[in-house]
Structure 1
Amino acid sequence: MTTHHSPAPGRRTARRAAATACAAAVLALLGTAVPAAAADRPAPIRLTLPAPTGPYQVGVSALHLVDPGRADPWQPDHGRRELMVSVFYPAAGAGGRPQAPYMLPAAAAHFDAVTADDYLQLGVPAGRADWAATRTHVRQDAPVAPERGGRPVLIYSPGLGEPRTWGTTLVADLASRGYVVVTVDHTYEAPEVQFPDGSLATMVAPGDPDAFIRKALAVRVDDTRFVLDRLHQLAAGRNPDADGRALPAGLGRALDLSEVGMVGHSMGGTAAALTMDADRRIAAGLDLDGNLTNVDGSLMPVAEHGLDRPFLLVGKDGETDTGPGWQAFRAHTPGWTRQLTLAGAEHASFTDAEALIPQLGLDPEVRAADIGSIEPAVAIRTTEAYVAAYFDHWLRGRCGTLLDGPSPLYPEMEFVG
């Protein structure tokens, strides 16, 4: 994989305008970001993610996947489609393994200089945080906790302009509860993807927002189906890593691919609905504040005909542009569906921003624009509880009442309609 750099993105005039729209991130990709001189910055802050709440410790292993049958759709002159994914899983102790990095060095540098404040519009000055050193509570290639018959598998798709690491809090918590969770970076649409040889692939210039979003979603569907194919290889005892890197013993046996779910944030939530529509291997899906309308306002096909399998919609508070697509989807879905609102939340509240932004000492108005007024610990634990309850019910057959109606345990989660 060679290094390819796309033009650095600039700021929107209205920093938080249309934060929930997929198009907003695209429209931000204009101009050049100029980081402050390193000599003028204080020492970067080392951040910590919340500890997972489940009974298992968590391990993670990265896979470099190459699709020999597909040219890269964004950079066709650069060869076959290449992806980086991370497999989070219940671990049988730390096994002396080191803490897994939150971001690799080159990816962390790009996230700091470009992604955090220009793609994600977080108002975080470059150099404020040491993203590479963020504590994850996850062990690299830790021993796999055995489970007869394997464990349900979840695919996590990040939002536009977000790296796959930006959902680590939720993903690690799900793994600690007994799931195998696979996070996917969609190369050249992801803000930065660092490959094992140290090279960095960055986002292509988007051009027309509507065309870019439509293409990006189609590519995500293809990427996710390819990842599922490779997970089946892993479950069959074959190593799918393109570099032949040794994987933790028993990782393939940990996968129960008869029980697969998909969850995503923003455009990742959109991708969850579209991938379910295209691939029946996915039994249940969950959309965290992702649109089901196109940039031009038209309904996506999945909103026009719905799904025949369970799908949960969870949105931020206040004014949102997800309304028309979500309403149409619910009206046309013959399968199980619910819509929830996390009171006091903002678009980024469903990502690691909810855990990390409070540690950065930002102006209160900037912090509120990023993650809303809800108490961060409440937002995180409420989201984790409902995501886990949803997949526990549909993939594990567990009984529970959390999805039946409002709960006094989580008063901030409101049921819509």
Structure 2
Amino acid sequence: MKALLSLALAATPVSTVTPLSLPPPTGPDLIGTVTAHLIDRSRPDPWVATEKNRELMVSIWYPARTVRGHRRADWVSPGVAARINPPDSGYALPVTHGHVGAPPAAGRHPVVLYSPGFGLERTSGTVLVEELVSHGYVVVTIDHTHDANFVEFPDGRIATGAIEPPASPEEEEKLLAKVVDVRVRDTRFVLDQLRRMPLARTMDLSRIGMFGASMGGTTAANVMLADRRVRAGVNLDGSFVGPILTTDLTRPFLLFGSDTDGEQDDTWTTVWERLRGPRHQLEIDGTAHLSFTDFQSLFPQLGLPPDQVEPVVGTIGADRSVAIQRAYLRAFFDRHLRHRGGGLLDRPSPRYPEVTVKP
């Protein structure tokens, strides 16, 4: 989570500045990116009663024709950067491999939506987002306002997390149900807006997938139940919440998890039996919950002791973890949105012995 990153950055002030970096994507396509401020006037904000409309920020990442003359996008917006990275931290936050406003490449590309974990921002999956785009996908990343720690709007306003912790297990269950419902509504609103966006001509809206980390993963599954426009989905290490626990899903879905050391999440067992379409379940040895976010790459660069890093991103090497995730995520969407490749999903691979494939 960015709060944890912020604490780490604040803990080690030094006189020189070390730039943090994200691993480059492997595909042949150049990457462009733009942001969009979306306002859903049909509903008030569900978390802050004084806000009359639901406001969202999204980023659209797309294959670019050229990037000449277009600067690389920062990992987070300036206002968010100021919140999480103290001036004397000794670190500079990453820049991405996307170029702001670059002209799109010709053609129409499959579209994939990304929903982050609870409390996280749309930027937290950039390592995986860029990989898909470099291989010919358009990816739309969504901030769930007041669920995310920070969301910066074009006028400089920063919406902060506003979900109060529950007082009891019963309240927690109700709260999680509401979180999922709000996220599903957010995502369906974004889907409605895609045809109206300036980059709509680069999107093949007959081929839409979705993935997310943690709460974003269960969001993907529940969006698929509510909206048939999403043809394939991925849960990256998230426990399932909401209607997906009691409703069959007949379209392709991938459960992609961290090292459980033999202990299975009960909600995964439940949902596995609810998956009536093509289904896949994978586990990566040596990973932990935040391995499926950019923090897999960033935390090891901070020079923190292993007892602080390993509980959140595991013992696996960062580059290896990212390479594995990228390969399998791309294989899944290539199979189910492009109808090509994807054999990596079916059986253990000697290239990736760290991955357990559930038969």
Q: TM-score, normalised by structure 1?
A: 0.79
Equivalent of 2:70 in 70, 94, 97: 97
SS of the counterpart of 1:230? helix
Query: Relative to 1, partners in 2 of residues 1:274 and 1:320: Cα closer, same or farther, differing over 3 Å?
Result: farther
Corresponding position: 1:219 with 2:189: no
1:79 aligns with 2:34: no
Alignment of 1:403 onto 2:345: yes
Q: Give distance in 2, aligned partners of 1:306 and 1:44.
A: 51
Which one of the candidate residues 189, 194, 203 is aligned to 1:231?
Answer: 194
Structure 2 CA distance for partners of 1:37 and 1:362, relative to 1, 3 Å: closer
| Equivalent-residue separation in structure 1 for 2:264 and 2:114 (angstroms) | 20
CA distance in 2, matches of 1:109, 1:43: 18
- C-alpha separation in 2, matches of 1:332 and 1:170: 27
1:10 Cα deviation after fit? 9.2
Match of 1:47 among 10, 20, 42: 20
Distance 1:279 1:36 in 2: 42
Q: Percent identical across equivalent pairs?
A: 43
Matching of residue 385 in structure 1 with residue 327 in structure 2: yes
Q: Report the counterpart of residue 57 of structure 1 in structure 2.
A: 30
Q: What amino acid maps onto 1:325 in structure 2?
A: T
State yes or no: 1:267 paired with 2:215: yes
Alignment match, 1:16: none
Cα separation, partners in 2 of 1:321 and 1:256, compared to 1, 3 Å: farther
Please report how far the alpha carbon of residue 126 of structure 1 lies from its aligned counterpart in structure 2 after TM superposition. Answer: 8.6
Q: Is the 8 A contact 1:406 1:414 kept in 2?
A: yes
Q: SS of the counterpart of 1:271?
A: helix
Deviation of 1:304 (Å): 2.3
**What does residue 169 of structure 2 align with?**
none
- Which has the bigger relative contact order, CA under 8 A and spacing at least 6? 1
Contact 1:284 1:310 in 2 (8 A): yes
Q: Which residue of 1 aligns with 2:83?
A: 110
- Contact 2:146–2:161 under 8 Å retained in 1: yes
Question: How far is the alpha carbon of 1:69 from its aligned partner?
Answer: 1.2
Matched residue pairs, number? 351
Counterpart in 2 of 1:203? 161
CA distance in 2, matches of 1:283, 1:207: 34
Of 233, 244, 252 in structure 2, the residue corresponding to residue 302 of structure 1 is: 244
2:303 is matched with which residue? 361
Matched residue type, 1:58? I
Residue 367 of structure 1: how far off its partner (Å):
1.8
The amino acid across from 1:127 in the alignment is: S
Q: Aligned residue for 1:279?
A: 227
Report what 1:68 is aligned to: 41
Moved more, 163-172 or 321-330: 321-330
C-alpha offsets along residues 51-109 of structure 1, whole Å, 9 cap, x if unaligned?
11011011100001011211111113122111000000011121310011111121112
Cα 1:394–1:37 change in 2 (3 A) is closer
- Which residue of 2 is the match for residue 243 of structure 1? none
Q: Which has the higher strand share?
A: 2
User: Are 1:127 and 2:69 an aligned pair?
Assistant: no
Check the 8 A contact 1:45/1:360 in 2, yes or no: no
Question: Quick one: structure 1 residues 37 and 174, their matched pair in 2 at CA, closer, same or farther if it must change by over 3 Å?
Answer: closer
Q: Give the root-mean-square deviation of aligned CA atoms.
A: 2.3
Contact 1:58 1:139 in 2 (8 A): yes
- Worse-superposed segment, 218-227 or 356-365: 356-365
What does the per-residue CA deviation read over 1:238-278, in whole Å, with 9 as the maximum and x for residues that have no partner?
x5xxxxxxxxxxx2210111110000000000100011111
TM-score (norm 2): 0.92
Distance 1:137 1:96 in 2: 14
- From 357, 368, 371, give the equivalent of 2:313: 371
